[in-house]
Amino acid sequence: MTSDTSDTPTTPDEPGHGISRKTLLRAAVAAGAAVPLLATGSIALARDTARSSAGRTLPPTPFCDDGDDPTPDQMEGPYFKPNSPLRTNLVTPGTAGTRLTVTGYVFGRNCVPLSGVLLDFWQADNAGAYDMAGYAFRGHQFTDATGAFTLRTIVPGLYPGRTRHIHVKAQAPGEPVLTTQLYFPGEPRNSTDALFDPALLMNVRDAGGGREGSFDFVLNVDGDEGPTDPPTDPPTDPPGGTWTAGRSYAAGDRVTYGGGAYRCLQAHTSMTGWEPPNVPALWRAGT
């Protein structure tokens, strides 16, 4: 219903023209207002419907019926690195910082959960620094058969010019990449960071000495076919020639790049920077 674009971020104080119920709820949380809570103690998210309907194709939820928009995109920023490790836990024994577990679901526009969605997270460490030499606080994973994900990390530190945030790229099989950022409610800098968007607020609570956050992505994909199959591994697909950017590849496709052979692990549209050696989530070396 709305026509939000990434270069015109909304602010917490902006009137909600056509704004969705979920966005309003999150804006209220950001402002510290009391909002209606479910019995679970959390604000109502699409995930709650998913939990109650596990294993079945979901009917449209109120959050979709009332025009809930796909998760908005945000700029990538200067700190993304390809080739992140496949892992859901970014915490190591010596990691400083408040433990944070982020859970959620990835849905298509019709609120059907999407499995096999690539989620590539990166964030600052406790001191607000990004690891550009290695892969600390970087990791990719895939949503499970129910469309769910879990990220174990720490609350990212602040750095100049920005409010607290986590970066993420999300890509359903064969669909374009959504690059965006997740935000924390109650952060003083939310009101001064021009990139901040209340539609990207997580629901965050204290838990066991750490924090628990939740966020449901809504990707701008059809999702009519229900949960997607996990990446397949057909051994007989024909070779795909030399890898090129801007081409659609299917799971099992074989290409060559830089003198090496690679097999596609899940359908996607290739793009510069995601060459096969750089994206182990999408390409496996060898045949």
Please give the residue ranges that form the binding site for Fe ion (CB under 5 A). Answer: 77
User: Least CB distance from residue 129 to Fe ion, whole Å?
Assistant: 11
User: Least CB distance from residue 245 to Fe ion, whole Å?
Assistant: 25
Quick check: 121 and 151 in contact, CB under 8 A? yes
Amino acid present at 44:
A
Of 77 and 277, the one with the shorter C-beta distance to Fe ion is 77
User: Least CB distance from residue 122 to Fe ion, whole Å?
Assistant: 8
Amino acid present at 235:
P
> Which of 100, 1, 118, 114 lies closest to 47, judged by CA?
114
Q: Return the residue nearest Fe ion (CB atom).
A: 77
Q: How far from 28 is each of 165, 174, 199, CA to CA, in Å? A: 18, 35, 11
Of 71 and 181, the one with the shorter C-beta distance to Fe ion is 181
User: Least CB distance from residue 123 to Fe ion, whole Å?
Assistant: 7
Work out the angle at residue 201's Cα, subtended by the Cα atoms of residues 48 and 47, and round it to the nearest 5 degrees: 10
Quick check: 149 and 217 in contact, CB under 8 A? no
User: Least CB distance from residue 130 to Fe ion, whole Å?
Assistant: 7
Q: How many CA atoms lie within 13 A of 187 on its CB side?
A: 25
| Sequence-ordered list of residues with C-beta below 8 angstroms from that of 261, at least 6 positions apart, any chain | 254, 255, 285, 286, 287
Of 70 and 77, the one with the shorter C-beta distance to Fe ion is 77
User: Least CB distance from residue 262 to Fe ion, whole Å?
Assistant: 30
User: Least CB distance from residue 247 to Fe ion, whole Å?
Assistant: 30
Of 168 and 265, the one with the shorter C-beta distance to Fe ion is 168
> Which of 263, 227, 190, 12 lies closest to 107, judged by CA?
227
Of 189 and 284, the one with the shorter C-beta distance to Fe ion is 189
Of 140 and 254, the one with the shorter C-beta distance to Fe ion is 140
Of 12 and 77, the one with the shorter C-beta distance to Fe ion is 77
Residue 109, φ and ψ in degrees, nearest 5? -60, -30
Residue 37, both tokens: 């809570």
